[in-house]
Amino acid sequence: MRVFGDKKMFAIGYELDLSGEYGPGEAEFRVFIDCKSICTYTNNGIAYELKWDIRGVVKWLEEEMSRILKEEEGFPLPVKGINANELYENSHLETDNQDELDDWYDKRNDWFYAHSWLSSRAGSPLPDLVFRRVGSMIEVSWDNRELYKKHNVKFVNPVGVFYFDVDYMEKVVTDFVNAFNEDLKNNS
């Protein structure tokens, strides 16, 4: 397995499946934060590592992470929260005004969609990680306790928040994306 970054902080790893059985982008995919494997899950009591076509995740990291690394904007709604998990929990609105409700949830959902890689999962049991810039740091937060519950999927490390230097995150993501794309090109 090729690993980029320090598992004690933040690291991404992959190992291509060269059998070609499920397509050229299939790989075992791992994310480590604070020595914890974030993608490891159980299904009906059996532990699994994420193995899927990860080309969508790689593309998301390549395109969206570069934008997130540079952005200075905050959360678009007037709610309090010290991390993305809290912002999500605190951003429910109760009103009888349908236009106000629609506008609120459009802003909320657009922001989370733009900061989470979940849209790139392509049917896989990818954990929902939310990335946001906070000053000179990148916050990575997740709360996957209910995600895929109806499919009996439980993540081994379901909740967390960690902060990393922007330059460190950029290097890890860039090195991972470049290596994966090169491996894919050389093995297709």
pTM given for the model: 0.90
Question: Which comes out higher in pLDDT, residue 17 or 3?
Answer: 3
CA dihedral 131, 133, 139, 144 (to 10 degrees): -30
Cα dihedral 144, 146, 150, 156 sign: positive
Residue 188 lies in a domain: no
Q: 3-state DSSP call for residue 14?
A: strand
Residue 124 lies in a domain: yes
Q: What pLDDT shows up at residue 46? A: 96
Reported as a single tens digit per residue, the pLDDT across 83-131 is 999 999 999 899 999 999 999 999 999 999 999 999 999 889 999 999 9
The answer to whether residue 24 scores a pLDDT higher than 80 is no
Cα dihedral 82, 84, 90, 94 sign: positive
Reported as a single tens digit per residue, the pLDDT across 27-83 is 999 999 999 999 999 999 999 999 999 999 999 999 999 889 988 778 999 999 999
When divided into structural domains, the chain yields a total of 1
Strand partners, 116: 130
- The answer to whether 11 and 5 are in contact (CB under 8 A) is yes
Q: What pLDDT shows up at residue 74? A: 84
Domain of residue 51: give its range. 2-183
Residue bearing tokens 């902080």: 9
Reported as a single tens digit per residue, the pLDDT across 124-183 is 999 999 999 999 999 999 999 999 999 999 999 999 999 999 999 999 999 999 999 999
Residue 173 lies in a domain: yes
Beta pairing class for 26-33 and 50-53: antiparallel
Q: What pLDDT shows up at residue 22? A: 65
Residue 46 lies in a domain: yes
Residue 54 lies in a domain: yes
Cα dihedral 36, 54, 136, 89 sign: negative
- Quick one: pLDDT band at residue 21, thresholds 50, 70, 90? low
